[in-house]
A and B are shown apart, each in its own frame.
Chain A
Amino acid sequence: MSQRILDRMKERFPDAVGDTHAQHGNETAFVARERIVEVLAFLRDDPELEMNYPSDLTCVDLLGLGDGLGELQREQQGAPQDDKPRFEVVYHLYSVTKKHRVRIKCRVPEDDPTIASVAHLYPSWNWFEREVWDMYGIRFVGHPDLRRIFLYEQFVGHPLRKDYPKEKRQPLIRREGMV
C-alpha cells in the first residue's frame, strides 16, 4: 500500500534508513537515531508524502525479549550482554491528504537513553515526548519543557520500564498508622 513511502525514504536517505518491513498494510522503517529529525522533516514537507498528521509517539522496552533473560539473571548465569538496544522509540505518521501512513522506529540503547526532540516539527508531540520521558525515561534533547506529565515530581524512576517493580508504590501521603 504505502511501499512507495519506504522507497522514497530509502532513495532520499540511503544511509539513515535501515531495515524495513510491512505487515497487514503497516509499513515500518528503522531510522538511525542521529538522523531522525531530518527524516521526519522530510516526511512532513515532501509534497508527495505530506505526512501532516502525527498520530502517535511512543516507546517500547525490549528488556529480556532477546533471550528471555532479565539483567539480574544474565549476570548470575554469566550470559553475554544482549547487544540489541533496549528501547525503541516509535513514531506513527498519517497523511490526511494522501491517506497513507507509516511507522518509524528508532533504536535507543540503555546506557544513553537520549534522542533528538521533534516537538518543533509536530507541536502536539510535545506532550507525547513528555509522556515517554515520564514512563520510559527517554530524554528528548532539545525539548522545550521536558517535565513529567502524568506522575508527580517526587516520583523516582520510570514505571513502564520492564524492570520497575510491579508492586512498588511511592505514596505522597498516608493517614497515621497506614503503611
Chain B
Amino acid sequence: MGLEFTTSRAADAIAWARKFSLFSYPFVTACCGMEFMSTAAPKYDIARFGAEFPRFSPRQADLMLIVGTVTEKMGPILSRVYAQMCEPKWVIAFGVCACTGGFYQNYGTMPGCDQVIPVDVYIPGCPPRPEQVLDGLMLLQEKIQKHQSNYQLRVLSDAP
C-alpha cells in the first residue's frame, strides 16, 4: 500500500465525471420505445454506463434520447423541449425514424429530427438492438471526453 494519486486537467476531470453521469430525457414517440425499455432493463442495463436515471423533465436532463418517429406536427414541441434543457446538452437519435425519417416518406413525418435540433450520435436500425444503443452511448461518452458537442460547436462557430 503506497501513496496513490493521479493527475489530470480540470476540464478532463469534469468531462470524465459528465460522461459517467448522464441524466437522460427519453423523448419516446413510437415503437423504438420498446427497445429503449429493453436497454434500460437489467439484462442490458444501461446503468453500467452511468445513464440509468431517466428524468422526466428536460430541465433536469443533459442527454435527450429521441426514440421513435417524429412528425412535422411535433417539430415545434421538440424544439421547445430541447430549449428547456440546461447546457451542456447532448442528443442521441435512436432508430432510423429519428435519424432520417426511415421508411416514412410522406406528408406527415419529419425527415430526421436533426431538421429541428442538433444531433450528436445517430443510432440506425429499426429498431436498433440494445447492443447498438450501448455502442452509441459509448460513442457519445467518447465525444464528451473530447469536449465535443454539436450544440457547443454550433455556439462556437456562431461567435464572431
> Residues of A with Cβ closer than 8 Å to B?
150-152, 159, 164, 166-175, 178
> Residues of B with Cβ closer than 8 Å to A?
72-73, 75-76, 79, 105-108, 110-111, 114-118
Residue numbers in A under 8 Å from B72 (CB-CB): 152, 169-172
Decide: A175 and B117 in contact? CB cutoff 8 A: yes
User: Within the complex, what minimum Cβ distance (angstroms) separates B25 from chain A?
Assistant: 19
A-B contacts at CB below 8 angstroms, number: 43
Decide: A170 and B107 in contact? CB cutoff 8 A: yes
Whole-angstrom distance between the alpha carbons of A167 and B116 in the complex? 19
User: Within the complex, what minimum Cβ distance (angstroms) separates A38 from chain B?
Assistant: 36
**Nearest B-chain residue to A167, judged by Cβ:** B105
**10 A-B pairs in the complex with CB atoms less than 8 angstroms apart:** A150-B108, A152-B72, A159-B108, A166-B106, A168-B107, A169-B72, A171-B75, A172-B73, A173-B75, A174-B75
User: Within the complex, what minimum Cβ distance (angstroms) separates B105 from chain A?
Assistant: 7
Not counting A150-B73, A171-B115, a sample of 16 additional A-B residue pairs whose C-beta atoms are within 8 angstroms of each other reads: A151-B107, A151-B108, A152-B72, A166-B106, A167-B105, A169-B111, A171-B75, A172-B73, A172-B75, A172-B76, A173-B79, A173-B116, A174-B75, A175-B116, A178-B114, A178-B116
Taking A173-B79, A173-B116 as contacts, is the C-beta distance between A151 and B73 under 8 angstroms? Answer: yes
